[in-house]
Amino acid sequence: MGYPTTIDGILGIWTALALMLFVYSYPLYKENQLFRFAEHLFIGLSLAIAAIIAIQTTKRLAITPLMEGKVYYIVPILLGFMMYLILHRDYRWVSRYPIAILVGSSIGLGMRGTIIPNILSQIIATITPPKPGADATAWFNFVYIGIGTILAVMYFLLTFEHKGPLLYPTRLGRWVIMIGLGAYFGNTVLFRMAMLSGRAQFLLQVLGLVPF
Amino acid sequence: MSQETIWDRLQRIDRRVIYWLLFILLILPFLRPLGLPISISPQSRSLLEGLRKLKEGDVVVINISSGVSAWPECLPSLVAVSKVLIQQKAKIIYWTSFVDGHMTFEKIVEKVPGFKGLTYGVDYVHLGFYTGAEPTVAQLATNIRAIFTTDYKGTPIDQLPIMKGVNSAKDVKMVISSDTGDYGDYYIRQWRIPYGVPFAEIGIAMLFSNYQPYWPEIVFGMTGGAKGGAELEKLIGEPGDATVTMDAINTSHLLVVVAVILANLGYAATRRRR
Amino acid sequence: MAEVVRREVVYALTAIITVIMIADFFLAIPQVNAVAGELRTWATIISTMALTLGAVNIIRVHSRNVRKRVPGVWYHSAFLVFIFALVTLLGLTNIDNPSANPVYKWLFDHAYVSLGQTWYAITGFYIASAAYRAFRARNIDAALLLIAGIFVMLMNAPIGEVIWAQIPAIGRWFNDVGQVPAMRTFLIVAAFGLLAFGFRTLLGRERGFYGEVA
């Protein structure tokens, strides 16, 4: 995609830039009406697009099969409408039925799916030593991960007071967790800055200082 | 009364100064690229090795669970992976859990020249939008046609040659997810573990931390945001958007690191004085 | 009787569906598999229809602002409701392909996309100011967090290697090994938490979803 050449294309990218600057006027200057305008425009657009996509997808998933003869699809459609009764104080309880289906499905699927990857595989990976011939670094890493995981799990034994024999292991466990969170923070900064750099690049692209 | 030092003044600096400094430091590298070399992570290497094992005709699902908002982070990896899949002559099925996912698909097609020689509906397809979190991902693993009856343009799924004989995880050789949230977990729980479909994650940088415990046994490869995208671009020898973004990452990260160090030096200086 | 219908039947339904989903995984009984599959499709349909629930609620709130002429706010709310109505109507002109409407497509491509990317990126500013104003190494815990964070940041940025050749190696260690115990612990602990939560739901003791305290 090069620099747009059509009127609506040029108008589009300059509108996009203006809206971006309206939003960034809040951190870079102070709260103002332009920021509020952009904020409410975005909320209105997001809600409308979500509504359109919801209607479109419902038509595809439920209405079309219903029209094609699968009469039982009336049940999930009715359940979907029952969800909206959550907004009515007196009939809020009716929405519990579709929520029960959502909750039951999600919890059942989560429970059945979590044991192998999140418990068994993690324990196996923790206790599996390096292959024969591995260097000292690999063994150090193995010991660090093994002991570190045990200490960090001990920190989450929240039904026991962290004193006496638990005092020092849980403190070390907390340090291990802090190291992990620090690395997570480092990756978070990468994420945020990459997103912001995309906006900086867009500014320059619209101004014609860098190519699209 | 003690005199106010430079550290005291620095501690009270208006945050807008930092915001403006950051914005300027993000803009400058695009005007004057630094072009510093990028180191490659073992996770990116194992991702590429896994992709290179695919054979002609293997069906690969790419789940786009990142919107246009996350393009700087996720799009470069999606583009690089699509290029490799085309080189491997794999069949690619895209689908998305974001309402604007079709824009990501169209952007991928625009940025990957290899799609020009392919036929939509035969070599690749975008089935469209789905919602419903884990129940829907689980249903896709057993019956794709229960969720998608058409592609994103409205063409009935049975009229698409690529979908012939493909209706569940058993018919898919690999699933790759580009995430900003939990969908990778769902694919691990509902595709990878029950059906053994190899899974890779090419999402935002934060998810690199989340999925590190799974690598390499459960997640055979992964990239972490824009840096991961730049690594893939370097590995396949085709620098792209992520490589350009890394220059801005240099200056912004340097600012954050300097800010943290300066702030802590100031904190130590003022605390000692008190 | 009303209480049974409003509560007990709901808890029982949740438990039955949870059991069906678990049984579907472990048992190869066609009837169970078929019912589980159908329930998953229903869950998808319900989730899809519920996408607009948030929209309905927000429009209600903003419509109230307009009705009551809340000072400083009502005209923004009126604009929001207007935009929602306009774009929804534009999309409904061709529900199978809303982008066929040129105004809808223009607003989607240029306003929605730009604003979405902008809002998502605004946190970059806040993380920079937080780094300066809030991240203090007040104790060993905070110091460890900052040290790990700084090395990973400098590993992610190619300039780290220019500053000191060992930074990528140390940062890589923090990223590939250092954080694994913590992340693995979160996975294990969260998995046990999910199992405990699931069993409480099966027993009808977990009622938060329904707006009740157990």
Testing the interface with A: which of C152, C167, C175, C197 to mutate, by most A Cβ within 10 A?
C152
Q: Which chain C residues are closer than 8 Å to B103 by Cβ?
A: 109, 113
Distance from CA of C70 to the nearest CA of B (A): 31
pLDDT recorded at residue B274: 64
Return the pLDDT at C214. Answer: 45
Does residue C213 belong to any structural domain of this protein?
no
Give the residue-averaged pLDDT of C13-39: 93
The mean per-residue pLDDT over the stretch C21-48 comes to 93
Average pLDDT value for residue range A143-169: 93
Q: How far apart are CA B77 and CA B88, in angstroms?
A: 16
The residue type of A36 is R
| Contact predicate C79/C71, CB 8 Å | no
Same domain, C94 and C70: yes
CB atoms within 10 A of CB A92: 14
Using the Cα atoms of residue B230, residue B233, residue B234 and residue B238 in order, give the sign of their dihedral: negative
What average pLDDT does this structure show over A2-20?
94
Return d(Cα C113, Cα C117) in angstroms, integer: 6
Q: Are residues C19 and C61 in the same domain?
A: no
CA distance C93 to A164: 70
Average pLDDT over residues B68-89: 96
CA-based torsion, C125, C128, C130, C133: positive or negative: negative
Question: What's chain B's average pLDDT?
Answer: 93
The answer to whether A200 and B248 have CB atoms below 8 angstroms apart is yes
Residue of C nearest to B264 (CA): C136
> Residues C99, C150: one domain?
no
User: Which residues of chain B neighbour A125 with C-beta distances below 8 Å?
Assistant: 213, 217
Mean pLDDT across C197-212: 83
Q: How many CB pairs under 8 A join A and B?
A: 135
Give the distance between the most distant pair of CA atoms in chain B: 83
Give the model's pLDDT for residue C134: 82
Q: Which of C135, C157, C180 has the CB atom closest to B250's CB atom? A: C157
Q: Cβ of A107 and C18 within 8 Å? A: yes
User: Does the pLDDT value for residue C190 go beyond 50?
Assistant: yes
What is the share, in percent, of chain B residues with pLDDT greater than 70?
A: 98
Number of domains in chain C: 3
Q: How far is B140 from chain A (nearest CA, A)?
A: 13
Q: Output the pTM of the full model.
A: 0.92
Would you call C172 and B67 a contact, using CB atoms and an 8 Å cutoff? Answer: no
Average pLDDT over chain C reads 92
Structure tokens at C99: 């982008």
Say yes or no: C30 and C58 in one domain. no
Q: Tell me which residue range forms the domain holding C40.
A: 1-49
Last residue of a domain, one of C73, C96, C121: C121
Dihedral pair phi/psi, residue A131, rounded to 5°: -65, 155
For A136, counting Cβ atoms within 10 Å of its Cβ (0-12 exposed, 13-18 middle, 19+ buried), the class is exposed
More confident residue, A194 or C206: A194
Burial of A161 (0-12, 13-18, 19+ CB in 10 A): exposed
Contact A200 B194 (CB under 8 A): no
ipTM for the predicted complex comes to 0.90
Residue C206 lies in a domain: no
Q: Which among C121, C144, C168 is the end of a domain?
A: C121
The predicted pLDDT at position B268 comes to: 86
> Is C196 an 8 Å CB contact of chain A?
no
Instruction: List the structure tokens of B249.
Output: 């990452």
Instruction: Identify whether the C-beta of residue A212 lies closer than 8 Å to the C-beta of residue A3.
Output: yes
CB contact under 8 A, C180 and B263: no
Residue C198 lies in a domain: no
Q: Assess whether pLDDT exceeds 50 at residue C136.
A: yes
**Sequence ranges of the domains in chain A:** 129-212
Residue with tokens 């999140």: A118
CB burial of residue C123 (10 Å; 0-12, 13-18, 19+): middle
> Does any CB of chain A come closer than 8 Å to the CB of residue C64?
no
Residue A211 is given by DSSP the state: -
In a shared domain, residues C145 and C160:
yes
Q: Residue B2 pLDDT more than 60?
A: no
Nearest by CB: A103 against C41, C194, C201 = C201
How large is the average pLDDT for residues C27-56? 92
Q: Coil, helix or strand for B221?
A: strand
Inside any domain, residue C202: no
